[in-house]
Structure 1
Amino acid sequence: MESTSFVLFLLLLLTTVFYSSPVFAGDIVHQDDVAPKKPGCDNDFVLVKVQTYINGIEDLEFVGVGARFGPILESKEKNANHTKLTMADPPDCCSEFKHRLMGEVILVHRGNCSFTTKANFADAAGASAIIIINNQTELFKMVCEANETDVSISIPTIMLPQDAGAVLEKNVNNSIVSVQLYSPGRPPVDIAEVFLWLMAVGIILCASYWSAWSAREAATEQDKLLKDASEDYLDTENTGFGGSVDISTTSAVLFVVIASCFLILLYEFMSIWFIDILVGLFCIGGIEGLQTCLVALLSSFGQFEHASGSFVKVPFFGAVSHLTLGISPFCIAFAVVWAVFRHHSFAWIGQDILGIALIITVLQIVRVPNLKVGTVLLSCAFIYDIFWVFASKWWFDESVMIVVARGDKSGEDGIPMLLKIPRMFDPWGGYSIIGFGDIILPGLLITFSLRYDWLSKKNLRTGYFIWAIVAYGLGLLVTYIALNMMDGHGQPALLYIVPFTLGTFLTLGRKRGDLKDLWSRGEPERPCPHKIFEESSE
């Protein structure tokens, strides 16, 4: 079990703590709020579908963003017209057109003049819509100039990222291209986010009860040894709960330092081969987690009791139970199959199974010994999450955490250290996600609360666990509300979760007078084994 604990502890550092991923909607656009809303320039920013047809045959579909100005696009595909696409002349659309247009949609390069100037020239030339190609591989929210007082533009204006625009421009030069422009609305509630919320809370519940049960079993076993009053057992006061790794204050701080260094490495050297390394690490962790969970589950059935209690020596791993040996091939095969098919639409199921098993196992093995360590860990993680999502833009000109989360520069759709669920009943598709760190880091404190409650023999009402899990659920709920209120911009979940969870714990502990024990000991005071031995000898 010692080797297992060490492996999981390393995986926590390498694949979880450094990656407390922001929750984000996946359709991230860069905002420009310099110019406030004004008459004729007060549209809400909406995503726009650009369905293309090459020589009359349906082809690629691109996603753009609508401008603050211009009319609102159709919301249904069946009501959107097929309109010919042509290149603007001049290409930047910053002067009058040389030829009159006949209602075409024009493709324009960004730069040299304002967005409203381009739209006005296109409108005057007879275009039905204008698509502006950004000079970067991301979207930019188009607003009016700060000095413009009244804007009257009668055609829609859409922006596409640079890579999508390059494809369209190439097709326009070689074929007859037509487009459909429409902007379907999103459902008011993302069902995928509801399931992610239930999944995150459920994982912490399962891990907490497993951890508390293990702690209580270890404490009961220790009490039995003490009652035997044998000198051979006098060292039991130094034994922890079997197979667990306690985090210290120093390691809590180092967690975040190492996490930041590793995140920078990911950002600077993100590539396909780097993603492959992360996939390999994730598979190792997933195999270990799935194996641990299955062994624990099957061991509770009588027919597997003998297999779980008999061991064989394996090089490097030491003593391994026959049940573990029997389950290992299945776990390895499961992870390999996921790695091979990870680009398929159904791969999220395997990723979530491996991820859930890994998270539960980490929460079972890695433990916060007291509230002091939990406070240091979550406070550092709180600062870490905010810095790398928001403040990192000041030094790197973009959000480092979000760039890594999306898998930019890697050619892949993000990294695997995430739980993800497809957005159901959403015409835009995509995934709703949550990072492992957003479950594990607060989960360490919540599992500690239940262990403390059980060892202190507190019920749900007088204990801390129920309040901690409710606070976590509320914090995660506020995260999703904030996400949907901010146009899909990435949100550091710990920004909301940590104040709810840690704040509730500290406030309740102080009010009940348990803060001193929670802060330093982290468990109820237990009789000294030497004293028990002396009393039993009398």
Structure 2
Amino acid sequence: MSFPLGNRRRVSATLPFSFLVALSFAVAAIAGGSKSPYCNNPVQLAMVKIWVDGDEGEYLAGLTASFGATLPEEKNKVPKLPAVFSNPLNGCSSSSSKLSGSAALSVRGDCDFVTKAKVAQSGGAQALLVINDKEEIEQIDCSGDVSPNISIPVVMVPKSVRDDLTKTMANKRVELLLYAPTRPIVDISVVFLWAMSVGTVFTASLWQEFGISEQTEKRLNESSSKGMHNIIMTPVTRKCRNCPQKTVRLPVIGEVSVLSLGVFLFCVIFAVAWAVHRRASYSWVGQNILGICMMINVLQLARLPNIKVATVLLCLAFFYDIFWVFISPLIFQQSVMIAVAKGKNTGGEAIPMLLRVPRLIDPWGGYNMIGFGDILFPGLLITFTYRFDRESKKSMGKGYFVWLMVGYGFGLFLTYLGLYLMNGNGQPALLYLVPCTLGVTVVLAAIRGDLKALWGYSSKSSAMINPTAEV
């Protein structure tokens, strides 16, 4: 971890774990009480903002002790404190470094936390940061004699802080600001994610309505037009179906329209620009655009033939999602699905197979996200029901498409409700989406007497449009 100037939105990798630990210990403190009347502080998730030579840098997460002063929720109620390492570094005896008016830093070990707090306070420190001996942060316990005289806040921070601050403080002035902002119950970003997910499935289902002539479709398929290129060319070509188009002949590719070539070059530039700037704060916009275009194409190319195949596919995805989110931590000591989504242990380089939107009102920043699989798997079933309704000439109320769109939207709502009830811990979205889509289809079909027809259904139009793409 480094402290680049101006990087105001970086989230510590320990933040999700820290938040859960803070909540669990807070509940434990309420339930079990404490041995000392001065060791009853609620454990807070602390934000430590860093200034380097007067310029605001990044911030990191910490956990407060259950003794000492509590941190305010608003940063304007606390002053910036110069960071000073204790000497000796363990903070177990009087420091030769001047601690007056500072945020003292000491490493864990050699004596209890209460002793470190007393030594730092006696030296005039206004706060104490205890650097843990590992990257995860833990609750600071009350071992030792806790007296009412400890009036400074005590916060534990990750191990990497020691090396990073040592390098930075060698030739620069570092100041710290400690406070504990409250996280909002729901961030507005989930509304945008919900709308993008539902909109992607809805658009993919109705994409054939914006279709193009068979001749144009054949020409576009022969030119390998996929992804973003196809999404742009389809409505444009339909609108200008009778417009004269200039063509050019290219090596290997053959004859292509000037319009198609121009759109292709635009798509290549767009994709390369996103790849180059994928770590920028605004890269989520490009990632979402590319991802939505890809998913619409996938839902056009891969088509379920009947409910029998849909049942096998979605049931396997259902258990797959549950295993990697809930069971994998028991085997690998962490949720593999969540670690991959957040780019954990890869320097933040996450696989871009998800939609993400920055948390707009969360002081901790970060992103809310949803994986492509949570859109594609239910989307395959929903697009199938749209084709079934259309070919069976079913009305909106007596069909299946509208009911599944409502079920999918409600399933996403349950997913985010689960996130809230589980204190932000990652949820397998298919746990909610499969019952709300496949379950709705089976129940409705059983009530209407369509289950047998859906189970062995064979779509004639699917075979004509894309005979090799059925799942």
Task: Please name the residue that 1:238 is paired with.
Answer: none
Q: Deviation at 1:158?
A: 2.7
State the alpha-carbon separation in 2 of the partners of residues 412 and 98 from structure 1. Answer: 38
Distance in structure 2 (CA, Å) of the matches to 1:129 and 1:288? 58
Richer in helix (by share): 1
2:359 match: 423
Task: Note if 1:36 corresponds to 2:35.
Answer: no
Cα offsets for 1:430-461 (capped at 9, x unmatched): 32222211111111111111111111111221
Q: Which amino acid aligns with 1:62?
A: Y
| Aligned counterparts of 1:293 and 1:26: Cα–Cα separation in 2 | 39
**1:156-305 map, 5 Å:** 156-172=153-169, 176-211=173-208, 288-302=226-240
Are 2:113 and 2:141, in contact at CA under 8 Å, matched by a contact in 1?
A: yes
Separation of aligned partners in 2, 1:242 and 1:380: 34
Change in CA separation of 1:508 and 1:175 when aligned onto 2, cut-off 3 Å: same
CA shift in 2, pair 1:505/1:92, >3 Å: farther
- Give the 3-state SS of the residue equivalent to 2:263 in structure 1: helix
How far does residue 516 in structure 1 lie from its aligned partner after superposition? 1.6
* Aligned 8 A contact 2:318 2:431 in 1: yes
Q: Contact conserved, 1:73 with 1:182, CA < 8 A, in 2? A: yes
Q: Return closer, same or farther for 1:194/1:164 CA change in 2, 3 Å cut-off.
A: farther
| 1:447 matched to 2:379 | no
In structure 2, relative to structure 1, the CA distance for the partners of 1:122 and 1:350 (3 Å cut) is: same
- Report if the CA contact (8 A) 2:41-2:65 is conserved: yes
CA offsets per residue over residues 285-322 of structure 1, 9 Å max, x none? 9x8211111121112213565549x997973x688666
Contact 1:64 1:158 in 2 (8 A): no
State the Cα distance separating 1:201 from its structure 2 match: 0.5
Deviation at 1:197, TM superposition (A): 0.8
**Structure 1 residue 207: Cα displacement:** 0.4
* Residue in 1 that maps onto 2:7: none
Partner of 1:78: 76
> Do the aligned residues in 2 keep the contact of 1:385 with 1:494 (CA within 8 Å)?
yes
Larger RCO (CA under 8 A, 6+ residues apart): 1
TM-score, normalization: structure 2? Answer: 0.78
**1:69 alignment partner AA:** S
The Cα offsets for residues 145-174 of structure 1, whole Å up to 9 and x where unpaired, read as 8x99x9977443333333334212334465
Paired position in structure 1 for 2:406: 470
| Amino acid in structure 2 at the alignment position of 1:28 | P
State the SS of the aligned residue for 1:73. coil
Q: Any idea what the Cα deviations from partners look like across 1:452-501, whole Å, max 9, x if unmatched?
A: 11111112211111121111111212222222343433222222222222
SS in structure 2 opposite 1:491?
coil
Q: 1:115 to 1:325 in 2, by over 3 A?
A: same
Quick check: 1:191–1:424 contact (8 Å CA) kept in 2?
yes
Alignment RMSD (CA, Å)? 4.0
**Residues 130 and 156, structure 1, Cα contact 8 Å, conserved in 2:** yes
Structure-1 separation of matches of 2:117 and 2:365: 30
**Structure 1 residues 496-515: aligned runs within 5 Å:** 496-515=432-451
Whole-angstrom CA distance in 2 between matches of 1:47 and 1:143: 13
Q: Quick check: 1:362 aligned with 2:298?
A: yes
Query: Equivalent residues in 2 for 1:338-417 (5 A)?
Result: 338-417=274-353
Q: Aligned partners of 2:111, 2:450: CA distance in 1, in Å?
A: 65
Counterpart CA distance in 2 for 1:125 and 1:428 is 32
In the alignment, the residues of structure 1 paired with residue 41 and residue 439 of structure 2 have an alpha-carbon distance, to the nearest angstrom, of 39
Residues of 1 paired with 2:262 and 2:174: CA distance?
58
Partner of 2:468: none
CA displacement at 1:358 relative to structure 2: 0.7
Please give the TM-score of this superposition, normalised by the length of structure 1: 0.69
SS of 1:206 mapped into structure 2: helix
Equivalent residue for 1:233?
none
Larger mean Cα displacement after TM superposition, 440-449 or 27-36: 27-36
Deviation at 1:108, TM superposition (A): 3.0
CA distance in 1, matches of 2:400, 2:421: 32
Q: Is residue 131 from structure 1 mapped to residue 119 from structure 2 by the alignment?
A: no
Aligned to 1:529: none
1:294 counterpart letter in structure 2: I
**Secondary structure of 2:453's aligned partner:** helix
The answer to whether the Cα contact below 8 Å between 1:475 and 1:496 also exists between their aligned partners in 2 is yes
Give 1:62's aligned residue.
59
Mapped pair 1:105 → 2:103 = yes
User: What corresponds to 1:20 in structure 2?
Assistant: none
Q: Which runs of 5+ in 2 are unaligned?
A: 1-12, 34-38, 463-471
Distance across 2 between alignment mates of 1:522 and 1:140 = 56
1:374-415 CA-to-partner distances (Å, cap 9, x unmatched) read: 122122112222222232222222222222222234334423
Gaps of 5+ in 1: 1-24, 219-240, 244-284, 527-538
State whether residues 41 and 144 of structure 1, in contact with CA within 8 Å, keep that contact through their aligned partners in structure 2.
no
| C-alpha distance in structure 1 between counterparts of 2:357 and 2:401, whole Å | 28
Counterpart selection for 2:272 from 328, 336, 358: 336
8 Å CA contact 1:211–1:363 kept in 2: the answer is: no
Q: Are residues 161 and 313 of structure 1, via their aligned partners in 2, closer, same or farther at CA, if it must alter by over 3 Å?
A: same
CA shift for structure 1 position 79: 1.5
The change in CA–CA distance for 1:410 and 1:305 in structure 2 (over 3 A counts) is farther
Deviation at 1:194, TM superposition (A): 0.8
Give the Cα–Cα distance (whole angstroms) in 2 for the partners of residues 518 and 187 of structure 1.
44
Q: How does 1:297-316 map to 2 (within 5 A)?
A: 297-302=235-240, 307=245, 315=252
Q: Indicate conservation of the 8 Å contact 2:310/2:381, yes or no.
A: yes
Does the aligned pair in 1 maintain the 2:43–2:139 contact within 8 Å?
no
Residues paired across the two proteins, number: 432
Matched to 1:499, the amino acid is P
* Equivalent-residue separation in structure 1 for 2:432 and 2:352 (angstroms): 23
Q: Are the aligned partners of 1:51 and 1:59 in contact in 2 as well (CA < 8 Å)? A: yes
In structure 2, how many angstroms separate the alpha carbons of the residues matched to 1:48 and 1:67? 10
